Amino acid sequence: MNIEDRNSTPDSKSVSHVLRVQQLFVTNQGNLLAFILSLQPGFTEAEDILQETFLVISQKADTFSIGTNFLAWACTIARFKVLEFRRRQNQQAARISDEAIESLCAELPKEDFFDTRLGALRDCLHRLAPRAREMIWLRYQGAREPEEIAKHVAWTPGAVRVALTRARGVLRACVESKLKEVVS
């Protein structure tokens, strides 16, 4: 490397490209998090993996061609970050095997795959009874355990678990119904 190489700054075209790729990441962040959660349950771990994925995407932005399937490219990076995380945590015995992850990722989702599912979930969440919606919100958006939720709503932890199970069942049935409507 000569002195000119060390003193050079990235050109504006390169910086602009990186910013566009980062904007695509922000746009698809929810879809990526859902993909990571499907491979590595646990919001805290998934968010850490998502952040690591963002760093790799930023570093490798120049290898991405704008106009191609960003979500497929990003999911590939996320898949490798999940595998790396699992190796670091040495949790292979307690989690899905690496072979199963590879099998699940064999066919990457289409661009609208997560958008369709997320739209159905949002609609179904709005249809839930207010108390059920609050339970789901506290559990998944607030990342609270049933014991914490029980204190918040003055219920027993068992009653919270039952309410969450019922709410998830209603959501699952509603989302499946909406997705069938989309396919029809």
58-87: b (≥16 Cβ within 10 Å) or e? eeebeebeeeeebbebbbebbbebbbebbe
Q: Looking at this protein, which amino acid is placed at residue 38?
A: S
Mean pLDDT, the chain, rounded, equals 83
Burial string for 104-132 (b: 16+ CB within 10 Å, else e) reads ebeeebeeeebeebeebbeebbeebeeeb
CA–CA separation, 32 vs 172, rounded Å?
20
Residue 56: what pLDDT?
Answer: 95
pLDDT given at position 5: 45
The answer to whether residues 75 and 49 touch, using CB atoms and an 8 Å cutoff, is no
For the segment 35-89, what is each residue's pLDDT rounded down to a tens digit? 888 888 777 888 999 999 999 999 999 999 998 999 999 999 999 999 998 888 7
Supply 29's token pair.
Answer: 């962040």
The per-residue pLDDT for range 124-147, each reduced to its tens digit, is 999 999 999 999 888 888 788 899
User: Which fold is adopted by the domain 113-183?
Assistant: Arc Repressor Mutant, subunit A (1.10.10)
Mean pLDDT throughout 13-29? 89
101 in Cβ contact with 164 (< 8 Å) = no
Q: Please state which CATH class domain 3-104 belongs to.
A: mainly alpha
Query: Model confidence over 149-163: pLDDT tens digits?
Result: 999 999 999 999 999
Where do the structural domains in the chain lie, given as residue ranges? 3-104, 113-183
- What's the confidence (pLDDT) of residue 149? 92
Compute φ and ψ for 129, nearest 5 degrees.
Answer: -60, 145
Q: How confident is the model at residue 14 (pLDDT cuts 50, 70, 90)?
A: confident
